Amino acid sequence: MQTNYKSTKFESYFRYALRKRGIHQSEIYTYNLMKFDKKTLGIALFLLFMTGIFSIKGYDSPIYKNATITVLALLALYTFLHLEKIKNEHIRFRKFIWGLILIPFLGFIPAYILHGQGIGMSIISAHIHVGYFIFFFLFITKIREQEVLKIFCLFGICWSAIEIIQQFTYPTYWFATRYETDDRGIEIRNGIYRFAVYGVNFGLILLFYCFEKFMQIKRRSYLVGMLIALIGIYLLATRQIIVMSAVCLFAGLFIMKKISIGNFMFLGIFSIIIYLNANSLFGDFIEITKEVDEDYIRFLAYEFYGITYNKGSVLAFLLGNGTPKFPSEYFQEIINYQEYYGLYRGDVGLIGIYSLYGIVYVIMIIWFYWYVFRNRKYLSPYLQMYVLYMAGTSVMLLHFGTHLTTIVTGSFILYLIEKNIARNKSTKTN
């Protein structure tokens, strides 16, 4: 009994000491980034594997793809058999998650009727959506919100480090998804090698979380975390992500009610430095933007996949066209539109989602944004900034479905949002 008392006394003192240093009790588990228990380590390794290990060379091999299919099948089976464990829990996104899983599978109907793609091929092509079972799996394992946050922050540092290091090692590189030049090399934009390493979600969570904490505590480590994330995001060399990240940081000041002269001066000086070096930092981005006109291909893609491609079909309007699967004619048709006309579904965000899965799926996503906005006072600022980033880039980027990495990281982030709202509601109620 004496030992337990001492342990409890030490625990209380430890928490008091952390609070004196400006660290809230909810942050205790993130204080030591490198400390993982066995469960957290297992989930971290699972997340790393299912997201292509930062798109390591060979991640798209048949062996890896078959391995992920096997893991997804086992995950779905395990989760389905243990759903009883969370039956009585109040999970706000329960129906939303089931919709994200089931609607893409219904795509076999329009894919067969409108495009002649075999039912089996359509169901196989939609298998990645089983990945949303990860959301329920996290509830079953009862992993703490702070442990998930710690994983994302650590992976955010790793992702940025990869983007930075490979700038100096090229033509030798180990992680990449982008091969756009004629010689199958890495595209260069503004003097930056565009590797497009999987994991920008980790970098964004790292950026927004460190920004929130720095605005609250002004600790140097959070500023360093911000800078690491910002460098990684800049080296990704994607205009909409860079711009929206900056917008979210400014919005964060209003979200946190940190509208002070000092904070504005901090971001203002940072913005002036960026502006004075805009030509060297963003020269190619600016030139690309200047070339935009009414015939810009992205706007053509909006019109094509939003209106023309459906050919007035009510079925396509409701359930989309389904997911194409090699080697069907439907798959080849989409490839032709991409390669010969530059019409990519992945470039038109929600319109691309609508073309694939229909208006019902899009309405679900809009509902998600509305729900988060309505409950924003119960959501931590870093997650408010992240959802704002999602909403702001949803006209160009795909945040739901279409890719296993998006689905897996999205499941973790939805879990973070769910748990965060529940915790903050409970705290404010008590």
- Alpha helix segments (H runs only) across 22-89: 28-31, 38-50, 52-55, 62-81
Residues of the chain whose pLDDT is less than 50? Answer: 1-8, 10-11, 14, 18, 21-23, 25-31, 182-183, 275, 278-286, 288-295
pLDDT at position 403 is 86
Q: Could you tell me which of 232, 218, 304 has the C-alpha nearest to residue 266?
A: 218
Give me the count of residues in the chain: 430
Q: What is the dihedral of CA 380, 218, 393, 173, to 10 degrees?
A: -120
HEC readout, 345-373: HHHCHHHHHHHHHHHHHHHHHHHHHHHHH
Count of CB atoms situated within 10 Å of the CB of 89? 11
Rounded to 5°, the CA angle 217-161-212 comes to: 20
Query: What are the φ and ψ backbone dihedral angles of 413, each rounded to 5 degrees?
Result: -70, -40
DSSP letters of 307-352? TGGGTT-HHHHHH-S----TTSHHHHHHHHHHHHH---GGGSHHHH
Tokens for 226, please give them. Answer: 């911000």
Please report, as a single letter, which amino acid is at residue 409: T
Q: Distance (Å, rounded) from C-alpha 25 to C-alpha 16?
A: 9
Contacts 24+ apart (CB under 8 A), 166-171: 166/193, 166/195, 166/197, 167/192, 167/193, 167/235
Query: What are the φ and ψ backbone dihedral angles of 38, each rounded to 5 degrees?
Result: -60, -40
pLDDT at position 88 is 82
Summarize pLDDT for 224-264 with one digit per residue, the tens: 999 999 999 988 878 788 888 888 988 888 888 766 656 55
DSSP letters of 198-258? S-HHHHHHHHHHHHHHHHHH--HHHHHHHHHHHHHHHHHT-HHHHHHHHHHHHHHHHHTT-
Q: Distance (Å, rounded) from C-alpha 317 to C-alpha 114?
A: 12
pLDDT at position 267 is 61
pLDDT at position 209 is 95
Q: Distance (Å, rounded) from C-alpha 359 to C-alpha 197?
A: 31
Contact 416, 145 (CB under 8 A): yes
Contact 212, 380 (CB under 8 A): yes
